[in-house]
Amino acid sequence: MPVYDQSYKRWEGSFKSHSFRWWVISKYGIKTALKKKWVKRLLVFSLLPFLLHAFWVYGLTQKGALTKFLPPLQGVRAIREMSGKVYHVQIEGAPEFFFEELRKQGLRSEVTGSELKITVPDGENSKSIRAIAKRTGTKITRLVPPGVKASFYNAYLNRQLLFLFILLLAVGSGLISKDVKFNALQIYLAKPITAMEYILGKLGIAVFFSVMVTVVPGLFLFLIQAILVGDSLYLRHYWWVTGAICGYSLLVIFSSTLIVLALSALSRNARSAAFGAAALFWFSPMIARMLRSWTWNDKYLLISFLHNCKSAGEKIFGLSATTDVSWGWSFLIVMAIMALCAVALVRRVRAVQVVK
């Protein structure tokens, strides 16, 4: 009997359940892409804006601590004196002993209209205000913690779009076109997976890298701010920002990945697919801006994929629109593009292309 039988052996094991077969495609795709040095470099490079924004958040929330590293000039001293977290408070009535207690505890207060701005020193939080209110029998009707504006996160994500698009062009443009070029689709689909699972698997690869440069750093930035503010009230009051970060990111991620994948499926050449996607991402805004400047009509901005995404983003973050174009139209156009790309993908991802 041979030491090692090299003839065909039957497999005695049992197959895994059918669900999540698409993940095998995603997993292999992600691993393969991560082996490429330039993908890793691009991912690291995309962290630079995150670091700058994180530093900005630190500066905003820890002004006092930051001034310790600066020479004791007059301006720096002023900043240190001004430092602290500003809470916006509404109380019933205006009891003098409440303000007196605030002064005693070293909390600065300023009345602006019906609102009271209370500055709490670094290291303390809303608990100090609540404790004073309790001691003085004052009823707080509203207490808003300090926070970075939603526009800050919106702007951060808008800056990350550059990295997102570059990564998508680099990683996503060849995902399906290579399989079409090398006839791999028929062996994929001869296995027990559906065309939809194949698409989902490929989408998973593109979405993974997109999430790594948008949702993950965005949420991390929010977390950093929450930690630096050091008040659980912050999380309770601004939790919706995490939803806005995810919502806006996912809208951009799914629309742009579907565009790249659809173009990849329509072409046998990864470069052509990348060029087509680049045209949509960067040339369409250029054309839109040119037409707007010639005609003074904001409606031409609807041609721009980037503008439509940003316009929908402004709405998601609750910001006022920067143009006259309704965000609803922009959102509809993005949705229509996604639907078109999905149809193209479903029609192209087939084991056999029938030429009629």
Residues that bind other proteins (CB under 8 A): 6-11, 13, 15-18, 21, 24-25, 28, 32, 178-179, 182-184, 186-194, 350-352, 354-356
Nearer to other proteins, 175 or 312 (CB): 175
Nearer to other proteins, 187 or 339 (CB): 187
Nearer to other proteins, 2 or 71 (CB): 2
SS3 string, 250-275, reads HHHHHHHHHHHHHHHHHCCCHHHHHH
Least Å distance, CB 200 to other proteins, is 13
Least Å distance, CB 218 to other proteins, is 32
Least Å distance, CB 354 to other proteins, is 5
Burial call 195-222: b when 16+ CB within 10 Å, e when fewer: bebbbbbbbbbbbbbbbbbbbebbbebb
Least Å distance, CB 181 to other proteins, is 9
Least Å distance, CB 56 to other proteins, is 40
Q: Within 13 Å, how many C-alpha atoms sit on residue 238's CB side?
A: 24
Least Å distance, CB 184 to other proteins, is 5
Pick left, alpha or beta for residue 73 (phi over 0 → left; psi -120 to 50 → alpha; otherwise beta): beta
Nearest-angstrom CA–CA distance, 198 and 268: 17
Nearer to other proteins, 180 or 259 (CB): 180
Nearer to other proteins, 114 or 190 (CB): 190
Least Å distance, CB 192 to other proteins, is 4
Side by side, which strands form the sheet with 108-112? Answer: 108-112, 115-120, 85-91, 140-144
- Quick one: the chain helix, strand, coil %, rounded to 5? 65, 5, 25
C-alpha torsion sign, points 343, 344, 347, 350: negative
Nearer to other proteins, 16 or 104 (CB): 16
Cα separation values, 316 from 37, 54, 80, 159, 225, Å: 35, 22, 35, 16, 20
Nearer to other proteins, 236 or 356 (CB): 356
Q: Give me 16's structure tokens.
A: 């895994």
